[in-house]
Structure 1
Amino acid sequence: MPSEPGLPKPEHSVTPKKDSGTSAALVEAKSKPAVSQGDQQGLIGKDEELVLGLGHHNNSYNFSFHVVIGSRAEEGQYSLSFHNCYNLMRGQEQPFDITVMIREKNPEGFLSASEIPLFKLYMVMSACFLAAGVFWVSVLCKNTYNVFKIHWLMAALAFTKSISLLFHSINYYFINSQGHPIEGLAVMHYITHLLKGALLFITIALIGSGWAFVKYVLSDKEKNIFGIVIPLQVLANVAYIVIESREEGASDYGIWKEILFLVDLICCGAILFPVVWSIRHLQDASGTDGKVAVNLAKLKLFRHYYVMVICYVYFTRIIAILLQVAVPFQWQWLYQLLVEGSTLAFFVLTGYKFQPAGDNPYLQLPQEDEEDVQMEQVMTDSGFREGLSKVNKTASGRELL
């Protein structure tokens, strides 16, 4: 059954499901023991409309039927189930093979009612992330003095996200028009999706740990976090690819879906630890090293970033899923709108907080140490400070007059 982005769908499915508005289904099933023509005679008298004639060919049976959903009252989710009556008797179960071919189509195309808006949605969001990336690069080019490597990593994340959504949108277009995805586009989407997931969690973890802004070297605990998050992200993306290329009726569909959800939650929880450690480090430093004002300012900002990360994880992993379950099937595309919209808002707010500006508290290292205080006192007492202006240092160690 088409309608899901990914690699070509297998034609083996016992219980296929589909969200659809007005749709038609053509099913051809072949199985090895089935109801014979003689057994059907008694059933035909009871309800002739519910009995399908079986064709017999090469020791197998086949039948087909056509369903048209023509009114609003009939629209909704439905399922197709196959039951082998001979296997209802214990101890007499017989193996069987079944092949199901389903063709589903709405008036607008092959996508279901909940997926029809996704082509335009992903295209618009791809343009938004591209515009955000271009704007961020222009900001970096104008403020090269305060730019760090992590700023360019943030730009790469925005462009990778834009490209991933572009391939996703094109993939949905071909599914809607042809009934099946283009394998090459699906592979490109999966590659960019994997890169986007890895870059997102790496960037959040680096910012949360204060790397380049507060310190230059990651601690052993933070390195261990990276060693856990990156492999888990690879596993989560593999699970995503398997789910996208499998039918809902496949035996391992539910298992991979649970794996994806569990791994994603573990990754989201793991990236919060560097932020918590940075907050604790700044909180301890504010009362011990004498630089209370600077450290308290950074502590307040990192707490804001911690709240941002919590809200982003909460909205995309919990609220969005609850919305998908609660709304009617025609509006389930709102789930993707909420996820992509909250991701864009998170990117914009993160860029705003960490923009390369000389007066940004995130980018200012402690401006004075004990030697600076002693030297300042000596120079003031000797009169050397007359006519000189104070120098501030940014996190890069360069001086701003």
Structure 2
Amino acid sequence: MKVRTEMYNMFDGAKDYLPVGQTTLPKLYLILFLIYSGFLALWAYICNQQRKNVDKIHLVMGVLLLLLTLKIICALEDKRYIRNTGTPHGWDVAFYIFSFFKGVTLFTVIILIGTGWSFLKPYLQEREKVVLMFVIPLQVLENIASVIIGETGPATKGWFRWNEIFLIIDVICCCTVIFPIAWSIRSLAEASKTDGKVAKNVEKLTIFKQFYIVVIVYLYFTRVVVSIIGAKVNYRYEWVAVAAAEGANLVFYSFIFLNFQPVDKNPYLVLHELEEDSAASAHMWEENISLG
């Protein structure tokens, strides 16, 4: 978000302070803002229509969408003002503020869904609370490092150190959010062996395994693949790395909000009672056969 060197548009000679590789970003952020605004409106409509099925986690997810939308509009205004005047006029500060809260909320949502909060149980265990209390301070440090990296450059003293701190903390946060999902998978696997409602437990076990895989792929792509893209592409196509990251974000958010929306008898979370009763009867029949 630094002040850029003055450049001129090759077609009309108008001043353009954005580097050539970032001139596409205002259009990209505008498209994303329209998408997420519609996304937020749709989520509010769904929650209003399904008020009896709305849990606390759905409200937290709504806050995440709101913060994401505000972050995108700040990024749009930041790039627009830099392109026209060379300075962000305070939009960079707003961008960093909303980026911080969005990052904290995103990791919180992943942890809460991963623990099964509101879906499997209405409470958090002590170890899950510890994970949250561990990740939130790390997100504070990560965003401080992100601001320093964004507002300075390699020529600045200590820039490489802050860059290393940022990468280390980001990796730790990404690894930490995996544990709650693994715990839920383990508990569901154990319950599927002992609980009478086998079908429901196996269904939820499959769900959390899928969620685990999606989170791993998302974190790997946005942290590793995007970095490789940014390092390999020509400076004229700097926007490609941003587009790749934002595309991954959109796909990830769509997956979460589609599959964990507040609907009655959500097929992603709940089996029909008939299926559960059939599975329970089958399980009891197997037990009677084994005892006999």
Contact 1:297–1:361 (Cα < 8 Å) also in 2: no
Distance in structure 1 (CA, Å) of the matches to 2:41 and 2:32 = 14
Would the aligned equivalents of 1:247 and 1:253 in 2 still touch at CA under 8 Å? yes
**More helix as a share of residues:** 2
- Aligned pair partner of 1:303 in 187, 209, 217: 209
The corresponding residue for 1:260 is 166
The residue that corresponds to 1:150 in the other structure is: 57
SS for the counterpart of 1:287 is helix
Whether contact under 8 Å (2:74, 2:95) holds in the other structure is: yes
Contact 1:213 1:365 in 2 (8 A): no
Partner residue of 2:7?
Answer: 105
> C-alpha distance in 2, partners of 1:295/1:317?
33
- Give per-residue Cα distances to partners, 1:310-334, cap 9 Å, x unaligned: 1111111111111111111111211
Q: Which residue of 2 aligns with 1:13?
A: none
Q: Which one-letter code corresponds to 2:261 in the other structure?
A: Q
Equivalent in the alignment of 1:167:
74
Change (3 A) 1:328 1:227: same
CA distance in 1, matches of 2:152, 2:130: 34
TM-score using structure 1 length: 0.64
Q: What one-letter code is carried by the residue in structure 2 that aligns with 1:151?
A: H
Instruction: Report the counterpart of residue 224 of structure 1 in structure 2.
Output: 130
CA RMSD, 1 decimal: 2.1
1:124: which partner in 2?
A: 31
| 1:371-391, Cα deviation, whole Å (9 max, x unpaired) | xx9xxxxxxxxxxxxxxxxxx
Match of 1:356 among 258, 262, 275: 262
Runs of 4+ with deviation above 3 angstroms: 361-368
Determine whether 1:283 maps to 2:185: no
Contact 1:214 1:365 in 2 (8 A): no
Letter of the structure 1 residue corresponding to residue 38 of structure 2: A
User: Taking structure 1 as reference, are residues 190 and 172 closer, same or farther at Cα in structure 2, changes over 3 Å only?
Assistant: same
Contact persistence 2:207–2:269 (CA under 8 A): no
Shift of 1:124: 1.4
Q: 1:178 aligns with which of 85, 94, 115?
A: 85
- Matched to 1:177, the amino acid is N
Shift of 1:361: 4.8
Percentage of identical aligned residues: 35
210 and 365 in structure 1: CA distance in 2 versus 1, 3 angstrom threshold = farther
Q: More displaced, 244-253 or 282-291? A: 244-253
- 1:181 Cα deviation after fit: 2.0
How far did residue 208 of structure 1 move? 0.6
Q: Is the 8 A contact 1:291 1:366 kept in 2?
A: no
Based on CA coordinates, which of the two structures has the bigger radius of gyration?
1
Aligned length: 271
Q: Does 1:135 align with 2:42?
A: yes
Listed one character per residue, the Cα deviations across residues 163-203 of structure 1 (whole Å, up to 9, x for unaligned) are 11111111111111112221x32221111111101110001
Return 5+ residue gaps in structure 1 as ranges.
10-17, 19-102, 374-401
Q: Where is the strand percentage greater, Structure 1 or Structure 2?
A: 1
SS in 2 for 1:215: coil
> Whole-Å Cα distance in 2 between the matches of residues 137 and 343 of structure 1?
20
Output aligned runs, 1:187-206, within 5 Å: 187-206=93-112
**How far did 1:286 drift?**
0.6
Cα contact 1:150–1:203 (8 A) shared by 2: yes
Distance in 2 between residues matched to 1:312 and 1:351, nearest whole Å? 15
**What CA deviation, in whole Å up to 9, does each residue of 1:48-94 have, x standing for no partner?**
xxxxxxxxxxxxxxxxxxxxxxxxxxxxxxxxxxxxxxxxxxxxxxx
Structure-2 separation of matches of 1:256 and 1:125: 29
Q: Distance in 2 between matches of 1:367 and 1:114?
A: 55
Q: Structure 2: which 5+ residue stretches go unaligned?
A: 10-14, 275-279, 281-292
Check conservation: 2:74, 2:92, Cα contact below 8 A. yes
